[in-house]
Every structure is written in structure tokens, then in C-alpha cells.
Amino acid sequence: MIPRYAHGPDEDAGMDLHSVEAVTLEPGETKLVATGLAIELPAGYEAQIRPRSGLALKHSITLPNSPATIDPGYRGEIRVILQNLGREPFQISPGERIAQMVIARYEGVQWEEGELGDSVRGDAGFGSSGR
């Protein structure tokens, strides 16, 4: 199934991804769920795979590696790692919405070795700006 915006691209950032297989997630279980979808992204773009809020709230179904990243060079099937944090088995049917996908731009960087410039914060870390 082709990913779709539930309310259109002017109102939704994420497109729904659907399962193409029947899967039962037992409590505490993690499984890879097929979407049957492969994409080709242009350089400088990634697809972020995120949990659906309704599945998380109502059934405790989440993505343990959220957000997952689909790189522009990947050409294989998008499969979603789902985990059942609930107390009951959760049945996924073919065609069911299991995650959402957001397309985002990123900047590639080239690292250089050398000295770091000065800053007011310096190396002050966790909690350095107050409580």
C-alpha cells in the first residue's frame, strides 16, 4: 500500500505505513513487520519511521528504535520494528496502519581535526543551565 496522509500534506507531517502481513505481538515481544514498500529518496533526504500515537496510547505498541532512519541509498523493503509493551497480545492484520513516515531534509558534514573554538558554556554539561 502506498503511504498516505490521513488529512493531507497541509495538515499531517507523517504518512501512514501499512502492514502487508498478519502478525501477533505477544506482551513484551518485538517483531519486524513488512510493509511491502521500497522507496528511492533523493540525496539529502531521509525517511523517519515513527510510532502511531493511537497504537501507543490504546495498545502500548511502539517502535523501540524510534525514529528509525531510512537512508537515501537504501533500496530494500521498509520493515518496521514493533514492540508490544502492553499486557495483552496484539493482532496486526494486513492493511492495518502500523507506523508513520516523515520525509526530512538533512545536511551532510565533513569532519576536520583541530582545536575547538571558545564558547561561554565551554565543557559544562548536564544541568549546567540550571535545574
For 14-71, the pLDDT digits (tens) are 999 999 999 999 999 999 999 999 999 999 999 999 999 999 999 999 999 999 999 9
What CA–CA distance (Å, rounded) separates 57 from 86?
Answer: 10
In whole angstroms, how large is the CA radius of gyration of the chain? Answer: 19
Q: Which residue type is seen at 73? A: G
Phi then psi dihedrals of residue 6, to 5 deg = -65, -40
Judge whether residue 130 has pLDDT over 80: no
What is the DSSP secondary structure assignment for residue 4, as one 8-state letter?
A: B
Instruction: Return the H-helix or E-strand segment holding 32.
Output: strand 30-37
pTM: 0.87
pLDDT at 127: 81
Specify whether the CB–CB gap between 82 and 98 falls below 8 A. yes
What CA–CA distance (Å, rounded) separates 33 from 95?
Answer: 12
Give the bridge partners for 4, in sequence order. Answer: 16
Domain boundaries, the chain: 15-105
Instruction: Return the H-helix or E-strand segment holding 59.
Output: helix 53-59
CATH, range 15-105: 2.70.40.10
